[in-house]
Chains A and B, each alone.
Chain A
Amino acid sequence: MDPILRIDDLCKAFGGIVVADHVALSIAPGEILGLIGPNGAGKTSLFNLISGVVAPDSGKIHLEGREIDGLKLHDRARAGVARTWQHMRLFRTMTVLENMLVGPRGYPGESLLASVLGTGRVRRAETDACDRAMSILDRMGLAATAEHIVVDLPFGQQKLIGLARALMNDGRLLLLDEPMAGVEGSNYLTMQRVVHDEAAAGRAICVVEHNVGFIKDLCTTAVFMAQGRILQRGTVEELTHSRELTELYFGTAEAH
């Protein structure tokens, strides 16, 4: 099967700090890939490179066969890169539903004139998007929160809404930055279930997590990163049992 995401020889340095050192990576449909590594290994930086927050120094990124490394941040989202953020970055003055409705890419109602005039096409798009948003929230058991201001919700639910908003993009690639950190109980199970469902629906998912336990619960495969390099790729089991990697993990983590 053709991979959804393919990265070749990606390099990026900020001054002397190398955050991506000839990174090569591919993620297949249905795969949930975990990124493990010490702080400063370049995991979040890799997300930023893929989603277009920062531009690479060299290298190629392909999404479903299309070269996307020259695209701007918002154009990559429109190409189908959906991501979440470690600190969620929800739109804090807006309701849950409003947060969701910023999610769809290429939203026809957002033209200024259409917005003022409120044409039939805008209303239809709005209804469709609302339906989709509600069905996603429903899957997470959050339908009742739709009209709440998003920052009034408990932390775990906010994390879920971060994921839900990214799902509105409906892209084939999903980048999840620490989706599990601080999430407990039923929210944890919901997160796990939704991520697995999305992979089953054919998306390629990449997860950054510090906690190896979370990675075990979520991912099918994993790579180990340190100092901007990918050191090893394998199943989660293989990686967590590799002694040199665990030593490196904790050894380097200490140094930081």
Chain B
Amino acid sequence: MEYLASTILLIGIFVILAASYNLIIGYGGLNTVAHPIFFALGAYTSGLLGAATGLPAVVCVLAGVAVAMAASFVLAITTLRISGDYLLIASLGFQLGLLQLVNNVEFTGGPAGLSSIPDTFAGPGRGAIYVVICTAAAALVVWAIWRTMNGPFGRAVRAMRDDELACAALGRSLIGMKIRIFALGCGAAGLAGGIYAYYFQYISPEQFQVAQSAEILTMVVLGGIGTTLGPIVGALVLVVLPQAINFLHLPNGLVGPAQGIIFTALVILFLFLRPGGLVGTAGAGAAH
């Protein structure tokens, strides 16, 4: 039962991460790889705040969202002048540097991780409560992104992705749009981080490595970049399929790498066999 709950929870978390990453990369055309770090900021902020102050979980998680948004603002304004490959590499530096910081300062618990996150909703129904909360959060994020991207703001964002110069020459402030996309997408990642921290009660820097951005990105691309459903399908497939290995009763040391192999092999296969994604690509321009 607990296994089922944590699997569903992971699906929900990755739906949020993939949908918000899709917002930034697929709709916004902003090629950044610094998504796991915002996930981490949400997780660490809410976890540390909860452990230190005992404030209600909701407050701590919202604080995590706020910190992730604030950090995204720093990334957005410093990298506005650059785009394409250079943004990719700058965001790589941002991701690696901040994670290195988390790794090295004392109060985060360093590489050993943070395990003093308070147990909220303790009791037999804990898993079920978290599943409901996480599913609701995922639904909210997907709904908000869907609303945004299908409204006037989303139209302007897609216009920017298609042609920045023409979009600006029609009176749209690219800077303002990029800041807002980053804030919304990274804030959602922070939300995922808060729920993750409170449910698992243990976080460590290695859960937020840069490689994870390839993982989330794969969910996005696999499902279909620039679509609403794509990230949901992608997260579902890529969380569930590697779980199959659990039923093979491999020795403990092999489960992790074997899951990794399945995951990466799936990614490579899909990349070559279904480059358009499972749902199909709405904005073909996004990936190109």
Contact = CB atoms under 8 A, between A and B. Distances in A.
Contact of B153 (A85, A106, A112): A112
Contacts of A122: 151-152
Contacts of B52: none
Contacts of A256: none
Interface in B126-172: 144, 147-148, 151-156, 158-159, 161-163, 165-172
A91 B152 contact: no
Interface string B1-41: 00000000000000000000000000000000000000000
Given A106-B171, A112-B184, A115-B152, A93 B282 contact: yes
Contacts of B152: 101, 107, 109-110, 115, 122, 125-126
Contact of A110 (B156, B165, B174, B226): B156
Contacts of B155: 94, 98, 101-102
B283 interface: yes
Nearest to A171: B171
Nearest to A108: B152
B171 A118 contact: no
Contacts of A104: 171
Chain A interface size band reads: 35 or more
Most buried by B among A53, A92, A112, A122: A112
B180 interface: yes
Contact of A94 (B158, B169, B184): B158
A169 B156 CA distance: 14
B283 to A, nearest CB: 4
Q: Which residue of B151, B167, B180 has the most chain A CB atoms within 10 A of its CB atom? A: B151
A114 B166 CA distance: 24
Contact of B170 (A72, A92, A94, A165): A165
Interface string A45-67: 00000011100000000000000
A72 to B, nearest CB: 8
A96 to B, nearest CB: 13
Contacts of B162: 90-94
B243 interface: no
A109 B156 CA distance: 10
Nearest to A165: B170
A93 B157 CA distance: 12
B284 interface: yes
B169 A78 contact: no
Given A89-B166, A115-B148, A116-B148, A74 B154 contact: no
Contacts of A78: 171
Contacts of A111: 153
A6 interface: no
Nearest to B147: A116
A83 interface: yes
Nearest to A126: B152
A105 B285 contact: no
Contacts of A93: 158, 161-162, 226, 282-286
Interface of A: 51-53, 72-75, 77-78, 83, 85, 89-94, 98-99, 101-107, 109-112, 114-116, 118, 122, 125-126, 165, 168-169
Interface of B: 144, 147-148, 151-156, 158-159, 161-163, 165-174, 180, 184, 226, 282-286
Given A93-B286, A102-B170, A112-B180, 6 more contacts: A51-B169, A77-B171, A90-B162, A94-B155, A115-B152, A116-B151
Listed from nearest, the 7 A-B pairs whose CB atoms lie closest are A109-B152, A77-B171, A115-B153, A115-B151, A89-B166, A105-B171, A91-B162
